[in-house]
Structure 1
Amino acid sequence: MSKPRRQKSPVTAKKQLGQHFLTDESIIRRIVQAIAPNPHAAFLEIGPGLGAITLPMLSECKRLTVIELDTRVIPLLRANAALIGTLEIIEADVLTVDFNALLGDKPWHVFGNLPYNISTPILFALCPVQSIVDMVFMLQKEVVERMDAQTGEPAYGRLSVMLQQYFDVAYLFDVPATAFSPPPKVTSAMVSLKRLPQPRWQVNDNQVFSAVVKQAFSMRRKTLRNALKPIMDAETLAALGVDADLRAEKIDGAIFAKIANALSVKS
């Protein structure tokens, strides 16, 4: 029996949407394997584009939900998906989506090739959504290095702390620019995030924790004494057992949590 023929795309990548369409079949197979499709689980893809990952995933899962902003690719996605399974397309800017309302209480697996220019706010929006059990994303290599970085490493920063509060983060593999059309000017990488049973550090107020981490890394070359001066003085840091002469890059999440919890009690 012959395989259904997919419609070819007349759509070209839009620079303003940060689009680079994945075309390398061997890389696509590795990505699908990393996502681990399962017909008994719920999967959400962010930014399916022309369906390079969508269609192989749909072949395995038979049902898939995607969020796509570019209306040019949606008719093509619908037509090709109709040959394979059920594709629910949410036409929206991912930054406007209420993920708690969309996903509800059942477990979800999220994946996608995130637009590099808005990847960080997307990640921050997804972090606290408890129904997301794991995520597999393609991102700029430097971003994945920051996500996976440990205390004291050069790439360690706000993104490292905020994601590792909720997830075990694993750098999977690099994706060369030649795997895309048009090729981006950067190397990409795949990353896996598996939600922890409980947040890694005990935090009384997530908003305060986020504000402390953001403030500390906003002036990463300065010591905590100076970086945190707007929210906490050196004497209070010392009373908490925190060395105010250290920089944020030398501080792990447990210490940021201690500072945040002291602030939340104070307020």
Structure 2
Amino acid sequence: MTKNDYIATPKRTKEILQTYDFSFKKSLGQNFIIDSNILRKIIEYAHIDKTSGVIEIGPGIGSLTEQLAISAKNVVAFEIDQRLIPILEDTLSAYDNIEVINQDILQVNLTEIIEKHFSPDQAVHIVANLPYYITTPILMGVLQQRTSIESMNVMLQKEVAERMAAKPNTKAYGSLSIAVQYYTEASIVMDVPKTVFIPQPNVISSVLRLVRRDQPLVHVHDEDQFFALVQASFKHRRKTLRNNLQTYFKGTLDKAQIDAFLRKADIDGTRRGESLTIEEFARLANTIYSA
């Protein structure tokens, strides 16, 4: 097969869309990639080889799926749009290492999928061009399942990718940065122009690489309370940490108690949430919730 025969070309993509009279659903955030070079770069950054198992989310008409099938041992792709299932059966018919499942990834038990479709010693990765409207729920849902997935390599809105990979004392840094980096090492590996999509999105995209940590970055006594405290600390970004905590703990802790906890955790309450590292947030949460 030559590069011109790949699904991810403007000509072939348009032919497939016309053959099946396919209309894009805005509600599903469908944007198909028409540049196979971009797809191969994504796969290269994901370190996919002939031993790898891959889970794809939202294969569309199979542009990325095809390139993954060429590079990986096997691919399991989850597509929520029933209309795309017969199209994928056609476009991917030349490959015997792809399983397409018509299911919402948010409803999937990934541990069961991994046990069923991949061998125990196989490295499993997520590689996906994610629908922008539901990027965060998908990624957080996967992370919170605590599976054996080694990495997630996903295309998403550049602004969201920057928030997930952000460091303290930057505008993009917030509770989402901490939630993602608690579980993974996050890095943006490339930007992707609008011109490689049909239809073209209104925003620039980035490819985010998330590598699972063997253990969460910090130890906390209670994860739910830790993440709630972090969110509260960013509730009003222009307010000090002390003020945000006073609002959050209103009726539970008074000002003097909050100040005492801040002193005990060795954190200046006049700082803003965006200046605290994840280690400092963990120390503060553990100080408050172990009292």
Q: For the Cα contact (< 8 Å) 1:225–1:245, is it kept in 2? A: yes
The structure that is helix-richer by fraction is: 2
Residue matched to 1:14? 25
Q: Does 1:144 align with 2:161?
A: yes
The correspondence for 2:134, drawn from 87, 100, 118, is 118
Aligned length: 266
1:225 maps to which residue?
Answer: 242
Q: 1:125-175 deviations in whole A, cap 9, x for unaligned?
A: 122323111110001000111111111011111111111112111111111
Give the equivalent residue in structure 1 for 2:218: 201
One-letter amino acid matched to 2:226? F
- Which residue does 2:51 correspond to in 1? 40
> Conserved in 2, the CA contact under 8 Å of 1:42 and 1:108?
yes
Larger Rg: 1 or 2?
A: 2
- Corresponding residue to 1:240 among 233, 241, 265: 265
TM (normalized to structure 1)?
Answer: 0.91
The two structures, once aligned, show a CA RMSD in angstroms of 2.2
- TM-score normalised by length of structure 2: 0.84
> CA offset at residue 5 of structure 1?
8.5
| Structure 2 counterpart of 1:181 | 198
Q: Partners of 2:74 and 2:41 in 1: how far apart?
A: 20
Query: What one-letter code is carried by the residue in structure 2 that aligns with 1:236?
Result: F
Percent sequence identity is 36
Corresponding residue of 1:86: 97
User: Is 1:103–2:119 an aligned residue pair?
Assistant: no
Counterpart residue number, 2:12: none
* Structure 1 residue 221: Cα displacement: 1.8
The answer to whether the Cα contact below 8 Å between 1:62 and 1:85 also exists between their aligned partners in 2 is: no
Match of 1:29 in 2: 40
- CA deviation vs aligned residue, 1:94-116 (integer Å, no higher than 9, x gap): 22223344335954211101111
Q: Secondary structure at the match of 1:8?
A: helix
Residue 166 in structure 1 maps to residue 179 in structure 2: no
Q: CA deviation at 1:43?
A: 1.0
Distance 1:201 1:5, change over 3 A: closer
Gaps of 5+ in 1: none
CA distance in 2, matches of 1:263, 1:126: 29
